[in-house]
Amino acid sequence: MALLYTQIKKTILLLTFTSILMSCHQENKTEAIGDDNPLLATWDTPYGAPPFNLIENRHYLPAIEEAIRIHKAEIESITHNTEAPDFNNTIAALDASGSVLTRVYAVFANLNTAETNADLQLIAQQIAPEITKHNDDIYLNQKLFDRVKRVWDKQLEYKLNIEQTKLLEVKYKAFLRNGAGLNANQKERLRKINGDLAVIALKFGDNVLAETNEYALEITDKKSLAGLPQDAIAAAAEEAKARDKEGSWVFTLQNASVIPFLQYARDRKLREEIWEAYQSRGNNGNAHDNRINIVQLVNLRMERAQLLGYKSHADYVLAERMAKTPETVFKLMDEIWKPALEKAKQEEADIARLLKADTIDGGVQPYDWRYYTEKIRQERYNLDEQELKPYFSLDGVRNGIFLVCDRLYGLKFKQFKDVPVYHKDVTAWEVTDGDGKLLGLLYMDFFPRAGKKGGAWMTSFRKQKTVDGKRTAPIISIVCNFTKPTATTPSLLTFDEASTFFHEFGHALHGLLSNVTYESLSGTSVPTDFVELPSQIMENWAADPQVLKLYAKHYKTGETIPDTLIEKMQAAATFDQGFATVEYLAAAYLDMDYHSLQQPLTQNVMPYEEAGMEKIGLIKSIIPRYRSTYYNHIFSGGYSAGYYSYIWSAVLDTDAFEAFKQTSIFNRQVAASLRTKILERGFTADPATMYKSFRGSDPDIMPLLRKRGLLKEGVRLGDGE
């Protein structure tokens, strides 16, 4: 459950192509530029949405080339302005520049993640270093930085408001953190590092996608399906049919396929086979091996941080996050690790007893955990996830989310079928406020396919901003990989998938409700360890009994989920939370281990990973949620030295939800406070200040520990436990 960091303003802040690249595509230039190129033409579509139905792969390179030319001219105008620098002609002008490039690249970047193909991947590989180069051209432009610094030094003279002050701070620090203060030789080295990082990170993600797509477990003997629920069998038959293997069953490494297999398949050897394929992605010694890529990424990031005056990449990253230092991150994780590991060991002992009863030697293996956990859940709580799924149809969960948003904020959602979409599975929704005012357009894309990366994320095709007093409505998208419908059954979600839907919708609300002036500060443009608060707090409504009675309806009968099932869900709420917390924290420790390095990594990454896990005492039956070679969050996404953010935000979200629990989960006054003090404000103020303004105090870790069942009755953290 991740936010796709399409801070496209930063990522693509400026882009240029080498003469070789331009000549390679010269033959397409005339036919694809101008009115003939839909990416550059006026988008005469509802809400100014991208005209996906008109865009072809050939349009991207020439469109970006032209957008660069426009953007470079805008930067030149700011740099060589003969008027004395001030907030409007320098800082605000910088924020407003590059709108054409931002618009064009948003389409390309999002489709390369959600609906990619070989052509798009090739284009991405070609332009990645050029994106970085032009970004460096801006931040290493001494004349431009001199103007920014003059505004910074004289800011008290301009009588700036709070939002203007924050934008100035963000822009000024961005120049410093991107090398504006380095000497000529250092700047040249920084350019080389940034260019290499861009290419390697892209390659890492492509490798993970290729490894995920290339594996398939084909089953031809129906006996091997023993234990699997009917919907998982039907989905595997549909997958086989799509691969021209009708009559067999195909399971893939997509979570919607592999997780049910690990959870229910009785055949232990087949569970082991698919598990080994899953956990060895990027570590197979083939063309998609990521081990060398990781060493290069870790070392280049460390070198860049030290070049900029920081001890490590983690120190560099965290300086602008709520946590501030690696020591603070480790302190929080250590506080939660001990009780979580203790609980996980108890869970492991329960599984070991079942293995012994099944006369299986060798101890609990990772591919045993989900299978036997499901058996224990059924024994202990009489709760079978398959009993729940009929009450969580995709449409039903979506309607439940809409209802919660209406009850809290008065929001309305209307499907809009005349808006172009990039894939037939994508739906588009008009989002309006209680007074009928347009808030934004929302795309929703739910099912796995070969061209879509795994996981779930929120992104934007257009971020909110205010121009000449008029609010520009954002265009937001949430992308997931949920269980597909079959010929006879709609998409039925596990409760984890339903919670993921609520989570990503929380991110979407952060983007849709944004109401700021400057695009660089809008919506989700906040530190990573604050950005998960709006998403994770939404998950609390997914599991609340009062809310479940409103949206969890049987897909066949329309029957509301019975109280007996809700009671079972509540009784099992902390079940397996040792495992869930430990596998997550192990990945967060791994991230910090890599990015706290102050000397180059010289060893193979797998022994390095294993040593790190041994250091924290991770039991052999659990592996990190993401092993190094397929850890997209930190090596191909925006979470390097930041994967801890989910647990940091979990402290915030459980504490924040207490404000609702103390009164009513649909308290409109509390919701209005959350909206105006956090969701609407983007990064216009310090996150800690915004949180305290909403809650009235700093967050307390105790609600999180209670929620996860990690706190012994009557014991407070720090009492020697």
Residue 704's closest CA among 646, 626, 664? 646
Instruction: Tell me the CA distances in angstroms from 36 to 32, 67, 71, one per residue in order.
Output: 6, 15, 20
3-state secondary structure of 438: strand
Token pair in block for residue 467: 């121009």
Which residues neighbour 158 within 8 Å (Cβ) at sequence distance 6 or greater?
86, 87, 151, 164
Starting at the earlier edge strand, list the strands of the sheet with 475-479: 2-3, 457-462, 475-479, 438-445, 427-432, 412-415
Virtual torsion, Cα 120, 126, 132, 138, nearest 10 deg:
-100
Can you spell out the DSSP letters for 324-354?
-SHHHHHHHHHHHHHHHHHHHHHHHHHHHHH
Q: Cα 413 to the chain's mean position, in Å?
A: 23
- Which residue reads 């024994």 in tokens? 379
Distance, in Å, from the CA atom of 320 to the CA atom of 325, rounded to the nearest integer, reads: 9
Distance, in Å, from the CA atom of 37 to the CA atom of 30, rounded to the nearest integer, reads: 9
Q: What angle, rounded to 10 degrees, do the helices at 255-264 and 230-242 form?
A: 140
Beta bridge partners of 443: 428, 477
Please tell me which residue in 66, 74, 504, 532 is annotated as part of the active site.
Answer: 504
Catalytic-residue membership of 327: no
Tell me if 520 sits within 8 A of 170, measured CB to CB.
yes
Residue 550: count other Cβ atoms within 10 Å of its Cβ: 16
Token pair in block for residue 502: 């609520």
3-state secondary structure of 478: strand
- Strands 457-462 and 438-445, sheet pairing: unpaired
Virtual torsion, Cα 161, 162, 167, 173, nearest 10 deg:
120
Which residues neighbour 275 within 8 Å (Cβ) at sequence distance 6 or greater?
262, 366, 367
Residue 1's closest CA among 606, 612, 595, 580? 580
- Which residue reads 């798009």 in tokens? 120
Q: Measured on CA atoms in the order 300, 306, 311, 315, is the torsion positive or negative?
A: negative
Active-site residues, by number, are 504
